[in-house]
Chain A
Amino acid sequence: MSRLTVPKTYKLAIGGAFPRSESGRTYVVTTPKGEFLANASLASRKDARDAVVAARAAQAKWAGATAYNRGQVLYRIAELLEGRRAQFVDEISRSEGVSAAAAGAQVDATIDLWVWYAGWADKYAQVVGNGNPVAGPYFNLSVPDPTGVVAAIAPQEREGVSLLGLAAVVAPIVLTGNTVVVVANEDAPLSAISLAEVLATSDVPGGVVNVLTGSPAELAPWLASHADVNALDLAGAGVLASGSWVDLQLAAAETLKRVLPPVSGAPVPSLDRITAFVETKTVWHTKAML
């Protein structure tokens, strides 16, 4: 007496909404053994463009939220993930073809990662900013400021990173007030979209995290050359056709984007990843009694 299940349609996440690709294209997502899992949206360059527009529109307000607030929002993500743990374990184990235990470890690591980064939101500025003892009657303070809109390629390995890799790229980007357009793991994009659904039901404002599914090879060049993208995280770009991540860096050079090079696997949580996409702003003001 098995009940007939209701499968989910996996769409893109742009500006707080879940549209299909404007191109109408989809691609088949399977298990490693080739069994059908879903038809995911195959994002186009225009979807990438729309995502950048959404990210830009959301950026100033997100950066203007208090650090305490951003920290709480990120922590809320961890809370909601915990509650939907079973769903993620299921998606990961089916799409990566790993055991429930391995998938569970990945979900746990992802939850812990959000908690770890959430705590940084109202602290990193204290660690990387400073007051400067300039030789003159000035108040002088250096503070980190988010770079702006960041485009990211999530880790693309078939196993072990479909959720954790995406989170490890996105969390350090957005905690400082950046917004992100991230291209999900091409082969195993389902948990990425489910994560976007979590974000939408948590307190993350629309447009802060935009998730595209489809081909990084197709989308990345458009993002790398987009003049309104300030920085590029090429974490997952190492698996693209030989050396093509260098072409992305070349394209990024045209507008002097900040670029993080490819890594293998999910990036290890670190302060370095937070500071990779912040600018140091130094403010001087005169000081006088008279």
Chain B
Amino acid sequence: MSFLEYAPAPESTAILNLKAEYGLFIDGEFVDGRGEVFDTISPATEEVIARIAQADAADVDRAVAAARRAYETVWSRMSGSDRGKYLFRIARLVQERARELAVAESLDNGKPIRETRDVDVPLVAAWFFYYAGWADKLEYAGLGPNPRALGVAAQVIPWNFPLLMLAWKIAPALAAGNTVVIKPAETTSLTAMLFAEILQQADLPAGVVNIVTGPGSTGQALVTHDDVNKVAFTGSTNVGRMIARQVAGTPKKLTLELGGKAANIVFDDAAIDQAVEGIVNGIFFNQGHVCCAGSRLLVQESVHDEVVDKLKHRLSTLRLGDPLDKNTDIGAINSAAQLERIRTLSDTGENEGAERWQLDCTVPDKGFWFRPTIFTRVSAAHTIAREEIFGPVLSVLTFRTPDEAVAKANNTPYGLSAGIWTEKASRMLAIADRLRAGVVWANTFNKFDPSSPFGGYKESGYGREGGRQGLAAYLESNGWEAPSLSAGASAPSRSEKKSRKAVAK
């Protein structure tokens, strides 16, 4: 046996104390759903982990009513500092139960324990810590004096970072003074249920956070509910479009964090070895199930061969397999449906003339797996260079000049993220200026921080999560007007102004 076939190093599941079945979390308690109970499985083994309740429209109604009640009677009347203390409590509880949450997430989502342990869960705690401190400082958030909470926030999150996306949504909403009804993705409800237990341990007032599990129809019932004031969604651009339509004409405030097709641009003067690491991290982190994944590698022609050679060499050290093994780099694809999509798009890539290279590794018999894949000879017209694959598939394109790199990078309806690799600072800054993307990573990739706003241009959605901007998405501004000018203009009445702002993007 070779050394590189590291002996199995599985993280123990003994730390988990899962229930066989989880109800909906409404008004501080686990309750039965009215829809049909469904299984949540491990995508690595296809074994059932637990049974999850399904919320129908009536359950959603109950959850929204609980959130409204909690908003009116408790949360909106509580001091900011007390709201903050609850969020600090939650952050600490997440840290205390970090390993348990990491194991549960890897089991349910299929992502490697190395990532849940070192990235997802630490960031969850960081997110609550960051926003906890905002709760009693809202007047400094840049929205003018006395910004107000919106009310009840309806939040729908994806399966790629289940607990982290929950934290991105819940932490700023509660800090700003809103109450929440959140729907986890159908295939990844488990850590949300553990999070509900954490809320009980934190003694968070009943109804401040409600969790309704179920399929897309549950989410639809939630975002279309008449009594929600805010809708926040992370997921595909198609569903985002649908939600934008459903929210149109209502006073609900909307933020959308949608798909991407990020360009990762490597110039010939780049620190090549670190660029290779960044490319790997950009597209193979979390099996490529990342909306901001660097799925289009734009490499300067003069270093194309070197970069691709080094990339393949580096990929050969990636280890695919059991998500709970501490040495696993590539875990399972989250679902059979997603695997099918990745396969179909990869086949399309090959059929359209791109050259496929795949990591030579064994794939477990059971579960959903896709070997890390690189397509070379990809041109901008290929389907795989345009559509979001949301899997471990990299398309390699070339460019000759900085202008060409920018033009190709921006040539997409998406605009979430981008990467730049160059040792030349002036060029980096100029390129960053011209990239139409909400997050630009220069000489790094896929870095996240609660203080750093995240979100897209164009069809990657609108609004930001993280930082002051992420807080503003859950507040109503009292405006910054030019006082001496207001009189001269035909100013609308105060009530008109209020209705106007409630629908701001």
- A270 near B480 with CB under 8 A, answer yes
- B432 near A283 with CB under 8 A, answer yes
Residues 477-489 of chain B, each 1 if its beta carbon lies under 8 Å from chain A, else 0: 1011110111011
- Considering the chains assembled together, what is the distance between the CA atoms of A66 and B440 in angstroms? 21
Stretch at the interface among B9-17, B51-59, B319-327, B446-454: B446-454
Stretch at the interface among A39-47, A160-168, A209-217: A160-168
Asked if A276 is an interface residue, CB under 8 A from chain B, the answer is: yes
- A268 near B492 with CB under 8 A, answer yes
Pair count A-B, CB < 8 A: 173
- Considering the chains assembled together, what is the distance between the CA atoms of A83 and B245 in angstroms? 46
- B440 near A282 with CB under 8 A, answer yes
Q: Shortest CB–CB separation between residue B101 and chain A, in angstroms?
A: 19
- Considering the chains assembled together, what is the distance between the CA atoms of A287 and B354 in angstroms? 37
17 A-B pairs with C-beta separation under 8 A: A109-B489, A116-B485, A127-B142, A135-B126, A138-B447, A168-B489, A230-B458, A255-B458, A255-B459, A256-B240, A261-B503, A266-B490, A268-B481, A268-B489, A269-B481, A282-B467, A286-B443
- B489 near A249 with CB under 8 A, answer no
- A264 near B496 with CB under 8 A, answer yes
- Considering the chains assembled together, what is the distance between the CA atoms of A140 and B452 in angstroms? 7
**Number of residues on chain B facing chain A (CB within 8 A):** 65
- B505 near A260 with CB under 8 A, answer yes
- B480 near A271 with CB under 8 A, answer yes
- A253 near B241 with CB under 8 A, answer yes
Residues of B438-466 at the interface with A, using a CB-CB cut-off of 8 Å, are 438-444, 447, 449, 451-455, 457-462, 464
Residues of B within 8 A of A252 (CB): 244, 248
Given contacts A258-B462, A268-B491, A281-B438, contact A134 B449 (CB under 8 A): yes
- B461 near A256 with CB under 8 A, answer yes
Q: Shortest CB–CB separation between residue B377 and chain A, in angstroms?
A: 29
Ordered nearest first, which 10 A-B pairs have the shortest CB separation? Answer: A246-B249, A109-B488, A253-B244, A265-B490, A134-B449, A271-B480, A249-B248, A261-B503, A285-B442, A269-B482
Q: Shortest CB–CB separation between residue B120 and chain A, in angstroms?
A: 15
Residues 240-263 of chain B, each 1 if its beta carbon lies under 8 Å from chain A, else 0: 110011001100000010100000
Identify the closest chain B residue to A165 (Cβ): B490
- B443 near A285 with CB under 8 A, answer yes
- Considering the chains assembled together, what is the distance between the CA atoms of A157 and B490 in angstroms? 11
Point out residues on A near B: beta carbons under 8 Å: 60, 64, 105, 108-109, 112-113, 116, 127-128, 130, 132-136, 138, 140, 142, 145, 147-148, 157, 160-161, 164, 168, 230, 243, 245-246, 249-250, 252-256, 258-272, 276, 279-286
- Considering the chains assembled together, what is the distance between the CA atoms of A260 and B504 in angstroms? 6
- Considering the chains assembled together, what is the distance between the CA atoms of A264 and B457 in angstroms? 29
- B413 near A263 with CB under 8 A, answer no
Point out residues on B near A: beta carbons under 8 Å: 126, 142, 237, 240-241, 244-245, 248-249, 256, 258, 413, 415, 428-429, 432-444, 447, 449, 451-455, 457-462, 464, 467-469, 477, 479-482, 484-486, 488-492, 496-497, 500-501, 503-505
- A140 near B449 with CB under 8 A, answer yes
Residues of A within 8 A of B459 (CB): 255-256
Given contacts A253-B248, A256-B258, contact A132 B440 (CB under 8 A): no
Main secondary structure of the interface of A (DSSP, over half): mixed
Given contacts A135-B449, A276-B505, contact A246 B481 (CB under 8 A): no
- Considering the chains assembled together, what is the distance between the CA atoms of A177 and B314 in angstroms? 43
- Considering the chains assembled together, what is the distance between the CA atoms of A112 and B484 in angstroms? 9
Identify the closest chain A residue to B468 (Cβ): A130
- A133 near B451 with CB under 8 A, answer yes
Residues of B within 8 A of A127 (CB): 142
Residues of A within 8 A of B433 (CB): 64
Residues of A within 8 A of B440 (CB): 281-284
Within 8 Å by CB of A258, from B241, B480, B497, B505, lies B505
- Considering the chains assembled together, what is the distance between the CA atoms of A250 and B246 in angstroms? 8
- B485 near A113 with CB under 8 A, answer yes
Q: Shortest CB–CB separation between residue B114 and chain A, in angstroms?
A: 18
- Considering the chains assembled together, what is the distance between the CA atoms of A157 and B489 in angstroms? 13
- B500 near A263 with CB under 8 A, answer yes
- Considering the chains assembled together, what is the distance between the CA atoms of A164 and B486 in angstroms? 12
- A282 near B248 with CB under 8 A, answer no
- B438 near A279 with CB under 8 A, answer yes
- B464 near A280 with CB under 8 A, answer yes
Q: Shortest CB–CB separation between residue A202 and chain B, in angstroms?
A: 21
Residues of B within 8 A of A148 (CB): 436
- A256 near B237 with CB under 8 A, answer yes
- Considering the chains assembled together, what is the distance between the CA atoms of A147 and B463 in angstroms? 12
- B482 near A270 with CB under 8 A, answer yes
- B248 near A283 with CB under 8 A, answer no
Residues of B within 8 A of A264 (CB): 492, 496
- Considering the chains assembled together, what is the distance between the CA atoms of A113 and B490 in angstroms? 13
